[in-house]
């Protein structure tokens, strides 16, 4: 498999970034869903949010890399059996996923830094709090974060179902291309 995308398939970098982001999104959603139910005395009460924030910051860096890679290395051309509506749906769907991802991560950052403290990332470095002091910042960002996270996971699930539809019903290579084939 080649590193870069070709006109017919995705390269290794795009494939790895795609599946790494997908794994991180669903893992962070599961972790977030689980951690909000922790009691005050649970031993994971502090560790789970710290882990969630650290992975979220790394995901932000990966997404910046992914956007840069996409700009420097365009996606393969649409398949010939994809009509104008399918092509438009694909572009809009990917746009929603990208904006949803960045929206979830920015709102998570605003929740975590509302008190003026930076975010420690696995004890290796700290991301400073740059935007604080907004009235009800933590509450508003928290609501946005929750709704966007649910929307993102649902939309990503639909994205996966669309890929399965292309594979099993349309019998085209849409899904196979995301495995670099």
Q: What is the mean pLDDT of residues 82-94?
A: 94
H or E element, residue 121: strand 119-121
Neighbours of 177 (CB within 10 A): 21
Q: Is the pTM of this model over 0.75?
A: yes
Q: What is the CATH number of the domain that holds 22?
A: 1.20.950
Neighbours of 140 (CB within 10 A): 15
pLDDT digits (tens, 9 = 90+) for 3-39: 999 888 899 999 999 999 999 999 999 999 999 999 9
Domain membership of residue 7 (yes or no) is no
Which residue has tokens 């840069």? 68
Mean pLDDT of the chain: 94
Distance, CA of 81 to CA of 107 (rounded, Å): 39
Q: What is the pLDDT of residue 101?
A: 98
**What is the number of domains present in the chain?**
1
Q: By residue range, what is the domain housing residue 75?
A: 12-177
Quick check: 111 and 36 in contact, CB under 8 A?
no
Domain membership of residue 127 (yes or no) is yes
Q: What is the mean pLDDT of residues 163-181?
A: 88
Q: What is the pLDDT of residue 8?
A: 86
């Amino acid at each position: 498999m080649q590193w870069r995308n070709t006109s017919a398939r995705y390269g290794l970098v795009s494939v790895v970034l795609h599946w790494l982001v997908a794994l991180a999104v669903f893992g962070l959603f599961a972790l977030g869903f689980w951690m909000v139910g922790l009691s005050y005395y649970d031993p994971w009460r502090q560790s789970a949010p710290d882990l969630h924030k650290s992975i979220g910051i790394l995901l932000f860096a990966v997404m910046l890399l992914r956007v840069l890679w996409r700009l420097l290395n365009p996606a393969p051309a649409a398949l010939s059996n994809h009509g104008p509506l399918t092509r438009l749906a694909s572009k809009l769907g990917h746009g929603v996923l990208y904006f949803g991802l960045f929206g979830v991560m920015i709102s998570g950052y605003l929740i975590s830094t509302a008190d003026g403290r930076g975010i420690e990332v696995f004890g290796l470095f700290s991301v400073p709090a740059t935007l604080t002091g907004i009235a009800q910042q933590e509450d508003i960002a928290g609501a946005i974060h929750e709704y966007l996270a649910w929307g993102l996971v649902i939309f990503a699930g639909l994205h996966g179902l669309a890929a399965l539809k292309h594979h099993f019903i349309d019998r085209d290579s849409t899904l196979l291309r995301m495995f670099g084939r």
